[in-house]
Amino acid sequence: EGPKEVRAGDTFNVALKVTSAQPVRASPLQLGFDAKLLEPVDVRAGGFFADGMFSYRVNRAGSIFVGASGKGAVATDAEIVVVTFRPIRPGATAELTVSSLLLQGAAGRAIVHDRPAAFRTTIVQ
């Protein structure tokens, strides 16, 4: 989730949300973005992993690696991660993709999920 339109130079947030009928204990993931259009400013745990362990690494060439784990609660439209970006160049459409996502249940088993759609926003002057 995020805004459909952003102004070059102004920061904005994008949240990756998940809904799961099963308890989610951990979620390693990788995000991809166009480094010519977006500059990552902040990466933080969403509400779902706020009381758990959270780490990340930003590759300025266009990817963000996240490791998050928590108590194994059922996710109901919960934010896993929130990324703050600064749009660099107006007149373009920027895209943020989920390159890889693994939802792990309480026993460490993978939870089957649909591939998240890419987030797109238009950068204006």
pLDDT digits (tens, 9 = 90+) for 26-46: 999 999 999 999 999 999 998
Q: What b/e string do you get for 1-14 counting C-beta neighbours within 10 Å, with b at 16 or more?
A: ebeeebeeeeebeb
Quote the longest CA-to-CA distance of the chain: 49
- The DSSP H or E segment spanning 9 is none
What is the reported pLDDT for 115? 86
Bridge partners (DSSP) of residue 78 are 18
pTM check: above 0.75: yes
Pairing mode of beta strands 5-7, 119-124:
parallel
Quick: pLDDT tens for 59-92. Answer: 999 999 999 998 877 777 889 999 999 999 999 9
Tokens 């989610």 found at? 24
Where is mean pLDDT largest: 8-12, 17-21, 102-106, 109-113? 8-12
What integer is the mean pLDDT of 4-13? 97
